[in-house]
Amino acid sequence: MIDSHCHLDHEPLYTNINEVILRSKDIGISKLLTISTTIESFDKIKNLVNKDQIIYGTYGIHPHETETNIVDKNNIIKNIKNNIKIIGVGETGLDFFYNNSNNDAQIKSFKEHVEASIELNIPLIIHSRNAEKETFDILNFYKNNNPKILMHCFTGSLEFAKKLLKLNAFFSASGIITFKNSLDLQETFKELPLDNILVETDSPFLAPIPMRGKKNEPSFIKYTIEKLALLKNITSKKLINLTTDNFNRLFFSK
pLDDT tens per residue, range 30-58: 999 999 999 999 999 999 999 999 999 99
The CA-CA-CA angle for residues 217, 16, 76, to 5°, reads 70
- Rounded Cα gap, residues 75 and 97, in angstroms: 28
Number of domains in the chain: 1
Between CA 161 and CA 190, with CA 253 as vertex, the angle to 5 degrees is 25
The range of the structural domain enclosing residue 157 comes to 2-252
CATH number of the domain enclosing 219: 3.20.20.140
pLDDT of residue 99: 75
SS3 (DSSP) at 212? coil
Residue 190 pLDDT: 97
- Residue 76 one-letter amino acid: I
- What per-residue confidence (pLDDT) applies to 92? 97
Look at residue 77 in the predicted model and tell me its pLDDT: 97
Give the Å distances, CA to CA, from 235 to 3, 41, 46. Answer: 18, 36, 36
C-alpha to C-alpha distance for 59 and 82, rounded to whole angstroms: 11
Is the Cα torsion angle 146, 133, 184, 123 positive or negative in sign?
positive
Spell out the residues 6+ positions from residue 28 whose beta carbon is closer than 8 angstroms to its own: 1, 240
- Tell me which residues of the chain have a pLDDT lower than 70: 254
Is the full-model pTM beyond 0.85? yes
Residue 3: per-residue pLDDT = 98
What pLDDT does 41 receive?
95
Q: What is the sign, positive or negative, of the torsion defined by CA atoms of 211, 4, 47, 41?
A: negative
